[in-house]
């Protein structure tokens, strides 16, 4: 196990330049192997071994443009993730895709959202849990940035340390991006005056948690803002569990290659599929760091 940790550490130190060089030429390729045995989805990566990991550079997704200084864009001051190197590995067993990830984080921000009593009323606590998301190309012109003029759709798996992790199921969503006015979509202004509209519907069924309204009367200094529930339907497709150990998050996802649900990506043997990873350190929405797009390569599964 000591040798495994040393190898991982060496990969983390050596990988950023390699990952960045790959990203400027073509998307890095993540070979999806056939696994002899399905790993247990528990956040313990010992079953994955020390070889075959792909190191990816993770950098801030957004640069501020509203306060230019000397012609340069300022960094997103609400992004505390910064730049880091993430390790990823993937395999297939029993008709399911398994994805393992490991990335540095100085602390495990895993407290669920709460309401805080302030000034005679309950208000949302000013804190966020750690999150990570995987997104897979569904249709259109895939773009590394959510804030672009590209029109496309992606399948999204969203894991959160304080909300979805306790139930062992990631939130299953899809995102649709368009420059045309869209109902029930968030609007973001783009440089040059254009607007991008982003719809973020959840997959059909009950998600792994639901929000709770603030209590009407005082019930202590804090009150829960969410409640765990048993997910159903397409919303229950993605298993996910993470563990934080000694300055690193370790996380595993698992999902059927083909769920039969129209809002899910299909992972076909013999093909490649564009994907991307986003890391949120006590962050939310666009305030995150991302990898460049990468190719999940299922060629070995012919």
Tokens of 88: 């990823």
pLDDT at site 75: 61
What residues contact 112, with CB distance under 8 A and at least 6 apart? 129, 162, 163, 166, 224, 225, 226
pLDDT at site 233: 95
pLDDT at site 237: 97
pLDDT at site 63: 60
Query: 2-301 maps to which CATH number?
Result: 2.60.40.1190
pLDDT at site 55: 98
Stated pTM of the model = 0.85
pLDDT at site 150: 83
On the CB side of 291, CA atoms within 13 Å amount to: 32
8 A C-beta contact, residue 282 and residue 130: yes
8 A C-beta contact, residue 188 and residue 181: no
pLDDT at site 161: 97
Domain locations in the chain as residue ranges: 2-301
pLDDT at site 119: 92
C-alpha–C-alpha distance, residues 187 and 267, integer Å: 31
Q: Is 104 exposed, middle or buried (0-12, 13-18, 19+ CB in 10 A)?
A: middle
Point out the residues of the chain with pLDDT beneath 50. Answer: 1-24, 64-73
Q: Which helix (H) or strand (E) holds 149?
A: none
Nearest in space to 265 (alpha carbons), one of 252, 277, 278, 256: 256
């Amino acid at each position: 196990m000591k040798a495994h940790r040393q190898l991982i550490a060496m990969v983390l130190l050596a990988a950023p330049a390699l990952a960045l060089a790959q990203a400027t030429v073509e998307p890095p390729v993540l070979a999806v192997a056939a696994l002899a045995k399905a790993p247990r989805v528990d956040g313990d990566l010992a079953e994955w071994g020390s070889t075959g990991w792909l190191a990816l550079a993770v950098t801030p997704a957004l640069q501020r443009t509203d306060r230019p200084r000397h012609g340069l864009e300022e960094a997103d001051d609400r992004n505390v993730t910064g730049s880091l190197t993430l390790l990823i590995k993937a395999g297939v067993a029993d008709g399911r895709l398994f994805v393992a990830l490991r990335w540095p984080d100085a602390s495990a921000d895993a407290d669920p959202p709460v309401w805080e009593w302030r000034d005679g009323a309950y208000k949302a606590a000013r804190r966020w849990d750690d999150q990570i998301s995987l997104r897979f190309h569904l249709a259109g012109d895939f773009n590394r940035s959510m804030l672009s003029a590209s029109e496309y759709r992606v399948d999204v798996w969203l894991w959160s340390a304080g909300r979805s992790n306790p139930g062992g199921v990631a939130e299953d969503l899809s995102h649709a991006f368009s420059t045309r006015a869209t109902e029930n979509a968030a609007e973001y202004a783009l440089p040059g005056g254009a607007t991008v509209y982003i719809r973020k519907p959840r997959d059909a069924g009950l998600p792994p948690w639901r929000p709770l309204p603030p209590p009407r009367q005082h019930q202590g200094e804090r009150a829960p803002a969410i409640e765990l529930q048993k997910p159903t339907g397409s919303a229950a497709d993605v298993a996910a569990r993470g563990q934080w150990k000694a300055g690193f998050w370790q996380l595993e996802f698992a999902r059927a290659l083909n769920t039969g649900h129209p809002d899910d990506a299909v992972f076909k043997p013999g093909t490649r599929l564009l994907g991307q990873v986003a890391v949120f350190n006590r962050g939310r929405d666009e305030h995150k760091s991302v990898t460049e797009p990468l190719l999940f390569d299922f060629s070995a599964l012919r």
